[in-house]
Amino acid sequence: MKKILVINGPNLNMLGIREPEIYGTATYRELEASIRTWAKEMDFEVQVIQSNHEGDIIDAIQAAYRRIDGIIINPAGYTHTSVSIADAIKAVGIPTVEVHISDTDKREDFRKVSYIRPVCIATIKGKGFLGYKEALQMFRASS
């Protein structure tokens, strides 16, 4: 059974409250439940974490080394600022898919820059929660 780590970055715990016109009204708990359901349907073992702290995200990526088959990451605001998260992904060499609930290319100019994208096998954006399902399907297709 493939093991997938899903990492959600800062403020995603505020889904349902934060900017519902952009992110919708579904909560983080609903997102996590959806991810777990999809992973089970695809016969994946999944670990889902959320952190508002860059170091915790880096620690999770490093801890995945030789234990996890794929990473799905929504780095949220760290997408546009964190060379360190990108370096951690590059260091562990685990295939990683970057996911964004909103279409970052249709938002503020600074959101169009991703330090994470170059170290990922794919980027999915603007598909809401279904972007996570699509990322899981990518790992299933590579089985």
| Catalytically annotated residues | 23, 100
Residue 142: C-alpha distances to residues 28, 59, 138 (Å): 28, 26, 6
| Residue 130, C-beta contacts closer than 8 angstroms, at least 6 positions apart | none
DSSP state of 79: G
Q: Phi first, then psi: give them for residue 64, nearest 5 degrees.
A: -75, -15
Maximal C-alpha separation, the chain: 40
Reading the block at residue 106, the tokens are: 């249709």
